[in-house]
Structure 1
């Protein structure tokens, strides 16, 4: 950061810690104390601003996209959002332990009747966002919500990966034009071994 601001690193670190010997001294420093540190070199304001932004980001509460209350509630939302897509698309919803949605993101876009999918990308996102569970959803542009044999095989792979990773697949959806298929509602999840 000091190099980016054009400040001599070693000398500036010594100066900074001469003025602010601890984090709380900087946090509660008055404007007069901050101006004394800056001493006419406006680049030092950039350093103080960067530190303040870092503290602000660290204290910011996590934002949630929504909350999953039931498969039927989520299924209706998915119909509204996926039914008119001309290609198959797989979305993942990452949830915390209270079923609040941390992230909803498309992970694959396919063709009219198939979507090459691998659990690797799904679980990479789940680990990155510290998800406690996940839901996958994809549309069938044909309008049919009957899961294909590929759908069944894919859901089985995601369940197995989730068991290994400790991030369970809570539900999976196939979305059509006016209805949906939920593995959880149909009693398919959890999978029987």
Structure 2
């Protein structure tokens, strides 16, 4: 990042070495710009208000672009790709957790968030919470994924019953659940892969 900051100041005809040094006094390496507080912002802007204001705007724009691109790196069009992603995200967790993937019309990921955290062996889930989040995000479709800390990748009867309930509710609301994953450290299990499209399973 140091080279980019230096180039920015240099392109504006500033003393690039001096301004870059000032920048890293306020924002050391590894600083999280999401945590930018008013005191740090004001101190930085006071050094060179016009130029530094533009730099902060550019950094924020870069953050938004990166966030947007990351969301579209994962697609649900191929269950194996998504299964490996979910396995990497959840497989090593010590407690059972349920994550919800919300998808756009191209089946690209627009949101990936934990909706429930349980114990070592079980989790209590609510369809109301799941559909509430999906509707708030204006999602086109959903995928549910949860981990089994025991290492057994096969779904339980409770897992199957809950998935069937979500499929039924999703069809009624026009917000389909297109897959349900169980993951462990070493493997993933996809209901759509193993048993066919969920839309046929209500």
Instruction: Compute the TM-score of the two structures, normalised by the length of structure 1.
Output: 0.66
- 2:130 is aligned to 122
- 2:162 is aligned to 154
1:91 pairs with 2:123: no
- 1:163 is aligned to 171
Q: For residues 135-157 of structure 1, what are the alpha-carbon distances to aligned partners after superposition, in whole Å with 9 as ceiling and x for unaligned?
A: 00000001111100110011011
CA distance in 2, matches of 1:174, 1:96: 22
1:65-80 correspondence to structure 2 within 5 Å? 65-66=71-72, 67-80=75-88
Q: Is the 8 A contact 2:164 2:201 kept in 1?
A: no
Instruction: Compute the TM-score of the two structures, normalised by the length of structure 2.
Output: 0.63
- 1:38 is aligned to none
Aligned length: 136
1:192 pairs with 2:201: yes
1:138 pairs with 2:146: yes
CA distance in 2, matches of 1:75, 1:137: 9
CA distance in 2, matches of 1:119, 1:192: 17
CA distance in 2, matches of 1:130, 1:69: 19
- Bigger helix share: 2
Q: Is the 8 A contact 2:167 2:201 kept in 1?
A: no
| Pair member with larger Rg | 1
1:175 pairs with 2:183: yes
- Unpaired segments ≥5 residues, structure 2: 1-63
- 1:81 is aligned to 89
- Unpaired segments ≥5 residues, structure 1: 1-59
Shift of 1:91: 0.3
Q: For residues 98-152 of structure 1, what are the alpha-carbon distances to aligned partners after superposition, in whole Å with 9 as ceiling and x for unaligned?
A: 0111111100000011100011111001100100000000000011111001100
Shift of 1:188: 4.1
Could you list the runs of 4 or more consecutive aligned residues of structure 1 that deviate by over 4 angstroms after TM superposition?
Answer: none
CA distance in 2, matches of 1:189, 1:177: 25
Secondary structure of the corresponding residue to residue 97 of structure 1: coil
Instruction: Please report the RMSD computed on the Cα atoms of aligned residues, expressed in angstroms.
Output: 2.1
